[in-house]
Amino acid sequence: MRETDTATPLQDDGRAGRALLAHLRHELRTPLNAVIGYSELLLEDEDAGEFNDGLRKMLAAGRELLALVNDLLNPASPEAKMSESAAEPHAASVRHQLRTSLTTVSGYCELLLEEAAEAGRAEVIGDLERIHRSAEKFLTLIDSVIDLARIEKSEEVEQEAEAFAMQAARVPEMIREMVSDLHPFADDGVGSLHSETGSLLIVDDNEITRDLLARRLTREGHQVAVANGGRQGLEMIERENFDLVLLDVIMPEMNGYQVLDRLKAQGRLRDLPVIMLSTFGEMESVAQCIRMGAEDYLSKPYDPVLLRARIGASLEKKRLRDRLRDQLRAIEQELDLAARIQQSILPREFPVSERIEVFAEMTPARAIGGDFYDFFQIDDSRFGFAIADVSGKGAPAALFMALSRAFLKATAVEGMPAGECLERVNRLVYAENQAGMFVTVFYGILNTRTGEVEFANAGHNHPYLLRHGAPPELLNHHSSLVVGVMKKAVYPTHHIQLRPGDSLFLYTDGVTEAMNEAGDLFSEERLEQALARADGGSLEETTRGVSQEVRRFADGAAQSDDLTMLLVKYCG
C-alpha cells in the first residue's frame, strides 16, 4: 500500500473531509453542552451549595471530555496524521480516556442523585438526571465515532466508503434520539440582574441548548423567548420587539446564515444585533458571520463570563444606537420646524400689478438653507428686491441668513441708494460676525414709474436681462467685496434702464454649480440655453423651466448647494 493510501477520509485535506469532521464535532459537543451547562447552573445556585464538591469534579470531567472530542476530530492535530501502526494504540488510548471521563461524570452524578433524593431536593434532581442521561447515551457513541475517525482507504475503498457513509449518517440520528429524552426543566427564577438587560430571542433547534441558555440568561435578569428553528425565529422577530437575537448557525430547514441574511435585507430589522452560536470554532465561519452583519460570535459550550460580557456589550451598543437614533429623530423634527419657520419669513405672495410682476423659488440643499430672497415696497414709486447666498450650509448658514436678511430689509426701507445700503449692512453684519462667515448680496431698486433700476453687487452672481425675442444678456458689471469680512467696504451703485416687458433674472450659484454624477457643472451656458427656451413664458414658467433643466442635468445626483431664483418684471 502506498504511503498516500494510508490517509483516511477524515484525514483528507479536502473540503468534504473537513466538513464531516466539523459536523461530527458539532453533533458530539451538543450533549457535552448539557453536562457542562447544567453543572455550571447548579454550581451557581446558592441553594445547592452542599453538592458543590461533586459538581466541580463532574464539571471538570465534562470539560476534559470536551477537550478529548475536539482533539479526536481535529484534522490539523498530529494524531490525525499518524501512520496506521501508530493510530491503533492512539485510538485505544482515546477510547480509554473518554470512557474514564464519562465514568467520572456518571459516577458523581449517581452519588449526587442519591444525596439530592435523601435531602428532598427535587429542583436539583431534574438537572442531575439530564446530566446522567447525557453521559449514558454518549457512552454508546464512543466506539462509533472513533471507528469513523480511523477508517482507512484500503484496496476495498468503495466498500469502506459505503460503510463510512452509513455510520456517519447514523451518528446524528443517535444523538437526536438521545437529545429527545432530555426535556427542559422549568425555570427556577433564581439570579440577580445584570447591569445591561434586555429582551432576548434564542433561535436554536436543540432543546437542551435553548433550555440552558434561557435559564442562564433569565438568571441574569433578561426577558427571554425561544424559537425552535429559523422560520419560527423570523416570525417572532416580525411580530415582537427584541433587543438581541442569539442565533444558532447549524439548523435544519433554514440555517443561521439564511436567517441572518433575511434580517439584514430588511430595513426595519437591519440594525437588530445578532450573536451567532455554533460549535464550529473555525475562523472561516466566524469571519463569514461578521461579514454578513452579525454583532458577535460565540462557540459552544459557552463560558458564562464571556457570554455575559458579549451580551452586555451588544446590548450596550444597541442602547447607544437607539439613543443616537432618537436624538437624530429629534434633530430632524427640529430642523423640519426650522425649515418651516425659514420658509415662512421669506415672501410667499408675489405681487402682480400693471407696473411690476415678481416670482421666486428657493430649494435648500438641506432641511434649512443659507440662501434668501426678499422684495418690498420702499415708497410709492420704488420697489426693492434682493437675493443673497450665505457661506456654508445647514443651521449655521440659516442663522446667519436670518441675521443678514433682517439687517438688509431694516436698512433698505429707509430709502438710501443701493450702494450706500450695502455699506451700512456690511458694517452691521461685520460687528455681529463672530463665526467668520460672509454673505454675497445683489440688491436692486426698481423705479416703477420709469423702469430705471439702481443696484449694487456684493460678490454675487451677475443677473441676466431678459427681453422678449432676444437672447439672455448677462449684466457684467463690477462686483464688490462680499458682506461681513471687512469693517469698511465700498459698494458702487450701478444703473440700468428696463423697457416694458423686460425682466431681471437673479439666481445663486446653486443653479450654475449644480453637478451630475460625473461631477460636471450645469454652468452659465446651460442656464442661458434654459432661459432662451423659456422666452415668452410667464415668470413662474421660466423659473420652473430652469429648475426642471437643473434636475434633468443632475440626473439623481445629490443636490450640493441651495438653489434660489428671483425674477422681477417691469410691466411699464
DSSP conformation letters of 428-491: HHHHH--S---EEEEEEEEETTT-EEEEEEESPPPPEEE-TTS--EE------PPBTS-SS---
For residue range 128-171, what is the model confidence (pLDDT) as tens digits? Answer: 888 877 777 777 666 655 555 554 434 444 454 454 445 445 54
Domain limits for position 266: 199-324
For residue 169, count other CB atoms closer than 10 A to its CB. Answer: 9
Q: What is residue 352's predicted lDDT score, i.e. its pLDDT?
A: 87
pLDDT at 3 exceeding the cut of 80: no
CB of 373 closer than 8 Å to CB of 362: yes
308 part of a folded domain: yes
Contacts (Cβ under 8 Å, ≥6 apart) of 274: 244, 245, 246, 247, 260, 263, 293, 294, 295
- pLDDT-based confidence at residue 25 (cuts at 50, 70, 90): low
Same domain for 173 and 204? no
Q: Give the Cα separation of 51 and 72 in Å (integer).
A: 32
| Domain limit, last residue, from 262, 289, 324 | 324
- Say if 192 falls within a structural domain: no
Domain membership of residue 331 (yes or no) is no
Distance CA 426, CA 487 (A): 7
CA dihedral 238, 244, 246, 247 (to 10 degrees): 40
Q: Quote the pLDDT of residue 234.
A: 93
- Do 162 and 277 have their domain in common? no
Same domain (yes/no): 138, 233: no
Residue whose cell numbers read 435531602:
119
Per-residue pLDDT tens digits for 339-364: 777 777 788 899 889 999 999 999 88
- Give the torsion through C-alpha atoms of 178, 179, 182, 186, to 10 deg: 180
The b/e string for 112-142 (b: 16+ C-beta within 10 A; e otherwise) is bbeebeeeebeebbbbbbbbbbbbebbeebb
Residue 529: CB atoms within 10 Å: 14
Instruction: List the CATH number of the domain containing 426.
Output: 3.60.40.10
Same domain membership, residue 400 and residue 540: yes
Residue 519, domain member (yes or no): yes
3-state secondary structure of 292: coil
- Does residue 266 share a domain with residue 145? no
330-343: average pLDDT? 75
| Strand order from edge to edge, sheet including 356-363 | 356-363, 563-570, 503-507, 464-466, 473-474
Do 495 and 354 share a structural domain?
yes
- 215 and 164 in a single domain? The answer is no
28: CB partners within 8 A, 6+ apart: 69, 73, 138, 141, 145, 171, 175
Tell if the pTM clears 0.85, that is, is over it: no
Are 143 and 244 in the same domain?
no
**Looking up cell 458577535, which residue turns up?**
296
* pLDDT, position 195: 57
Total domain count for the chain? 3
Is the same domain home to 9 and 92?
yes
Higher pLDDT, 372 or 192: 372
Instruction: Tell whether the model's pLDDT for residue 438 goes beyond 60.
Output: yes
pLDDT, averaged across the chain = 81
Q: Is residue 333 part of a domain?
A: no
| Residue 305 sits in the same domain as residue 360 | no
CA-based Rg of the chain, rounded to a whole angstrom? Answer: 39
Chain segment 449-491, per-residue pLDDT in tens: 999 999 999 999 999 999 999 999 999 888 899 999 999 999 9
Q: Is 487 among the domain residues?
A: yes
Q: Examine the domain organization and report whether 166 and 203 are in the same domain.
A: no
Residue 36 in domain: yes
Q: Is 146 domain-assigned? A: yes
Spatial distance between the Cα atoms of 548 and 186, rounded to a whole number of angstroms: 67
Backbone angles phi, psi at 332, to 5 degrees: -60, -40
Q: What is the pLDDT of residues 83-134, one digit of tens each?
A: 445 555 555 666 666 776 777 777 778 878 888 888 888 878 888 888 877 7
- How far apart CA 384 and CA 113 sit, in angstroms, is 97
Look at 126 and 569; give whichever has higher pLDDT: 569
Output the pLDDT for position 268. Answer: 76
502 and 453 part of one domain: yes
Question: Where is mean pLDDT largest: 183-187, 257-261, 414-418?
Answer: 414-418
Indicate which CATH number applies to the domain containing 251.
Answer: 3.40.50.2300
CA geometry: angle at 483 spanning 479 and 488, to 5°? 95
End-to-end Cα spacing for the chain: 111
